[in-house]
Amino acid sequence: MGRVLRKLGLDRNPLRRFSDQVESAVVVLLVLCVLAAVPLALLAGTVAHERLGTSTAAYRTTAVLEHDAPSEVLTSELIVVSPGAKVPGRWIAQDGTPRHGEVLAPTGARAGTAVPVWLDAAGTPIQPPLEGAALTWMSVLVTLGVLVAVGGACGLVYGVVRAILDHGRMAMWEAEWERVERGWTHRG
């Protein structure tokens, strides 16, 4: 235990400068901050998993296409095969009222084709919620993002504190050398 305390600068070494003790205290506080961030990051990942997955506000129904979906999308330079296109469609909202608007349909789908759509609480089409591996990876990325952000912020704080302390140490070092030099060269 003594070795760990000595490494962290928490021992009672009389040669340890005050700036060394401050730096040690800052390191301990920053390590505690990073450790405290782990459960918060896990909580953020869990919340992201719940919110990005099937939520209670999302409702799946079927829409019927009113027009054919295009088979390709033209751009100024290339012909790009699109995985889907927005076309007019109609559906029944959760409250039973008929609705119509643009829905995402597979490329090349014909008018009258039934396509699945996800609706929000107002009955407006929304992007489908994430599922399976995509949902898991997004949750993991949120968790890692929180850890990286907290770790980066702590690293930045340490760097700033260290720069300030090093500046003070160098000023004290120069002042001490100046005092010693006067005694050695008999100037002054």
Domain membership of residue 8 (yes or no) is no
> Do 123 and 93 share a domain, yes or no?
yes
Q: Which domain holds residue 175?
A: 17-31+40-52+134-185
Q: What is the rounded average pLDDT of the residues 3-8?
A: 70
pLDDT at 92 over 60: yes
The two three-digit tokens of residue 52, written as one number: 């990005």
45 vs 49: CA distance, rounded Å: 6
Confidence bin at 36 (pLDDT 50/70/90): very high
pTM greater than 0.75? no
Alpha-carbon span 35 to 47, nearest angstrom: 20
Based on the domain organization, do 117 and 99 belong to the same domain? yes
Helix (H, G, I), strand (E, B) or coil at 111: coil
What mean pLDDT do residues 54-70 have? Answer: 80
| Residue 76 forms part of a structural domain | yes
**pLDDT digit string (tens) for 107-128?**
888 889 999 988 887 878 887 7
Does a structural domain hold residue 146?
yes
User: Residue 1 falls within a domain, yes or no?
Assistant: no
Asked if residue 101 and residue 116 are part of one domain, the reply reads yes
Nearest to 84 by CA among 57, 116, 62: 116
Rounded mean pLDDT of the chain? 84
Mean pLDDT calculated for residue range 33-58: 86
Answer yes or no: are the C-beta atoms of 8 and 16 closer than 8 Å: no
Residue 2 lies in a domain: no
Residue 71 lies in a domain: yes
Instruction: Indicate the pLDDT class of residue 147, thresholds 50, 70 and 90.
Output: very high
Indicate whether 6 belongs to any domain: no
Domains contained in the chain, number: 2
| Mean pLDDT along residues 28-47 | 95
Same domain membership, residue 140 and residue 124: no
Residues 109 and 123 in one domain: yes
Structural domain includes residue 3? no
Same domain, 104 and 138: no
56 has pLDDT over 60: no
User: What's the CA gap between 96 and 119, in Å, rounded?
Assistant: 13
